[in-house]
Structure 1
């Protein structure tokens, strides 16, 4: 990449949201083989989406936060716990700190909404990444879209 300078921001407009969905398609659908019909769900309409973009506007990564009733409905749990999900970083942007910056931006958004903790379902190969950011795994491994996952949580 010619530039490694990037910013993260909440996706505020339709163009930002489309950029988020394009990153997810590239990473989850194309690269990992997740069926498109399960990658996008009804929670996308109510989620807070975060986008990382290179200074020239190229989308590098995305993630989303479910909070309140949406998080409780998805996780079956406490509405004071947010649900971080759909974290994706394009192949060319990996190793630049984009994923960690997105997680921190999502945590900041969770704090702004008064949440006490953030849960997520991590692909097992990414457990170390999330552990370095302060998340702790709990419960058994489970498949999601045919990919092994573990539940993780971090108190805010």
Structure 2
């Protein structure tokens, strides 16, 4: 099982990014498509996760230091791919000079992000009808 997580180019690889996010967020989680796509797409650094050369995940880091749009295909969840994706994003952020990054975690995933060094920063709020929690991590 060969796993690769790497930065992705929005312009040349947006088809792969969109396919994963459409499936996970729009179809599975019923996020309205007009909320899924925003004005951050072109300026954010995107990432792709490959399993045996097949794209199975994606995520992004905005210029403001927000990690988001992390999604792993349902058929390969539970294999640690999300943790590898998050680690790659954090490593990229640190190498790029970010001192602190943050995210809006779906509330059910708070434990996942806590294990990765993120701390809760405020009350539960809703995005696209889904409960979220703001979390942040200091980078060394």
Alignment of 1:75-90 (within 5 A): 82-90=65-73
Q: TM-score, normalised by structure 2?
A: 0.94
- Structure 2 residue 11 is matched with structure 1 residue 28: no
Cα distance between partner residues in 1 of 2:12 and 2:78: 26
- Structure 2 residue 104 is matched with structure 1 residue 145: no
In structure 1, what is the equivalent of residue 5 of structure 2?
8
In structure 2, what is the equivalent of residue 134 of structure 1?
117
Once superposed, what is the RMSD of the aligned Cα atoms? 1.2
Deviation at 1:21, TM superposition (A): 1.4
Alignment of 1:1-156 (within 5 A): 4-12=1-9, 14-55=11-52, 57-67=53-63, 71=64, 82-156=65-139
Deviation at 1:117, TM superposition (A): 1.1
Deviation at 1:12, TM superposition (A): 3.0
Cα distance between partner residues in 1 of 2:126 and 2:109: 14
Aligned length: 139
Superposed structure 1 runs of 4+ greater than 6 Å apart = none
Q: TM-score, normalised by structure 1?
A: 0.85
- SS at 2:89 equivalent: helix
**What residue ranges of structure 1 are gaps of 5+ in the alignment?**
72-81
User: Is contact 1:17–1:49 with CA below 8 Å preserved after alignment?
Assistant: no
User: Is contact 1:27–1:89 with CA below 8 Å preserved after alignment?
Assistant: yes
